[in-house]
Amino acid sequence: MNDAEILDWLEAKHTLHRAVEILYVVDGYEIALTYDGEPLRGMRWKGNTLRDACIIAMKALAYGIRS
């Protein structure tokens, strides 16, 4: 996946109530999908880089895999 696809995915996941939360952690990045600011259960993924975390989340959602 290229960076444009990642940005398109991020934009598509941001709506009036839903958002993508990105958190820098000591050993990489963590991405969570939220609804009105509350994390959705099973919707949290981690990667070594921001790009990796986005790709892992995108693939997991495409295949219906929760964390």
Contacts of 54 (CB under 8 A, 6+ apart): 1, 6, 9, 10, 31, 47
Copy the structure tokens of residue 34: 């939220």
What is the DSSP secondary structure assignment for residue 33, as one 8-state letter?
A: E
Could you give the percent of the chain with pLDDT greater than 70?
100
Confidence of residue 8 (pLDDT cuts 50, 70, 90): very high
Predicted model pTM: 0.90
d(CA 56, CA 31): 9
Q: Where are the alpha helices (DSSP H) in 1-67?
A: 3-13, 50-62
Confidence of residue 4 (pLDDT cuts 50, 70, 90): very high
